[in-house]
Amino acid sequence: DTTRNGPIMRRIAENIFFKTVCIVAIAANTVYMGMVADFNVKNTYRRVQGQSMVQEWETPDVVFCTWFSLEIVIKIAAYKKEFFLGEDKTWNLFDSALVAESVTSVIFKTGSGLAFLRILRVFRLIRVVRVVRSVKALRRLRTMIFAMISSFVDLMWAFLVILLILFVFGIIFTNGVSGYFEDVDVTDAEKVLQAGNVREHFGSLYESMVSLWCSISGGNDWMQYGASLRIVGDGDESYFGLFCFYIAFCVVGLMNVVTGIFVDSAVCTRSEDEVVQGYVDDLQRTTEEIKKFFQSADGDHSGTLSFSEFERHLTNPTVKAYFAGLDIDPDEAKIIFTLLDVDRSGEIMIDEFVNGTMKLKGYAKSMDLLCLMYDSTRL
């Protein structure tokens, strides 16, 4: 009976125990992926040493594959079309693709033979992002991850700028080295040896770009490459001076600018669900505080607040400070009470108090002024 199974499956999918098991399974699978990588590299090196290889682990793969497949089936049965067309459709389809790859790997044993599928296995670790996204306690970590993801385009442009700088300077130094090779005395063994050292760093455009990148990224000390360019100059320091300018330009200017742009993009980023959750949390916190004020002011526990109770409670310095924090003047007790008492019963219900206080919070919005102008025009 689909009419009865549907709600049952949805309750299972939204149950806190089921979600906890899913999170634990994802975390355990992440740890297992690291253990497999460590095991594989040690196991394959046994062949290099002439030893027999140990049989690869299979049972954990089957267990994880079975659980993740069951999770997908439960969610499809619970949400039906919403699973493929709902708000989380991208994550659901991506997770389904990962599960399909896992099933294929387990059934046909393809993961151990093809490098592409072995690399594809690593993408299973992206499931960890789901954990970060769903667990409220990991909000700060989620902010960092989404900041890096949103800054990815800026990072790609930064890489392109760096690559362009390396390409331009690489051409300059490669042409200089080409001229140096033309003038080398091939009968002088020492000169030939020096030319070999220069060729190691600037023997091609690719090697020149690699050397230039290493000199600014910490791969090697930049003076190691500067010494080779001094040999190219053969007493002329022009190429060495240009290389020093390149180092100063990249380290002081280029890298700092690129880092600044990347950091600015990351700082200005907030995930959409974080913005919504922040608003909901702020609204809930303010509502709870207003309810506590109502309950403490309701001395006779009648569930309503009279003007005398309201006015008496506003004399409390703590209450005054709280209302001032909401941009509400606590000295205007009569006006505030009249505005909150919508039905003019002389008493304020808790719903009236909460809704009215939330509306009085802060300054007048453009919408408030527009409503006032509309009512005035209509009257």
Regarding pTM above 0.75, the answer is no
Which sequence spans correspond to the domains of the chain?
5-134, 150-267, 298-377
CATH topology of domain 5-134: Four Helix Bundle (Hemerythrin (Met), subunit A) (1.20.120)
Return the structure tokens found at 95: 């997770």
CB distance 328 to 357 below 8 Å:
yes
What does CATH list as the number for 298-377? 1.10.238
DSSP string, 53-103: PPPPP-HHHHHHHHHHHHHHHHHHHHHTHHHHHSTTHHHHHHHHHHHHHHH
Please give the radius of gyration of the chain, using alpha carbons only, rounded to the nearest integer: 34
Query: Is there a contact between 29 and 127 (Cβ–Cβ < 8 Å)?
Result: yes
Spatial neighbors of 164 by CB under 8 A, at least 6 apart, are: none
CA 363 to each of CA 336, 351, 359, 366: distance values in angstroms, whole numbers, following the listed order: 15, 21, 10, 10
Number of Cβ within 10 Å of residue 340's Cβ equals 19
Phi, psi of 68 (to 5 degrees): -65, -35
Residues β-bridged to residue 349: 304
Length of the chain (residues): 379
Task: Give pLDDT, residue 329.
Answer: 66
Cβ atoms of 72 and 99 within 8 Å: the answer is yes
What does the pLDDT look like over 27-58, one tens digit per residue?
A: 788 788 778 778 878 888 887 878 888 887 77
> Is the distance from CB of 183 to CB of 235 less than 8 angstroms?
no
- Tens of pLDDT along 77-98? 888 888 888 777 777 787 788 7
Identity of the amino acid at 332: E
Give the pair of three-digit tokens for residue 273. 């669900």
Spell out the per-residue pLDDT of the chain, length 379, in tens. Answer: 444 445 788 888 888 788 788 878 877 887 887 787 788 788 888 878 788 888 877 788 888 888 888 888 888 888 888 888 877 777 778 778 877 877 777 776 654 444 444 455 555 556 566 555 555 656 666 667 677 777 777 888 888 889 999 999 999 988 888 888 888 888 888 888 888 888 888 888 999 999 999 999 888 889 989 888 888 877 778 888 999 999 999 988 888 888 887 777 766 665 555 565 666 777 777 777 777 777 777 777 777 777 777 777 777 777 777 677 666 666 666 777 777 777 777 777 777 777 777 666 666 667 777 888 888 888 8
Helix pair angle (238-248, 152-183), 10° resolution = 170
pLDDT of residue 114: 42
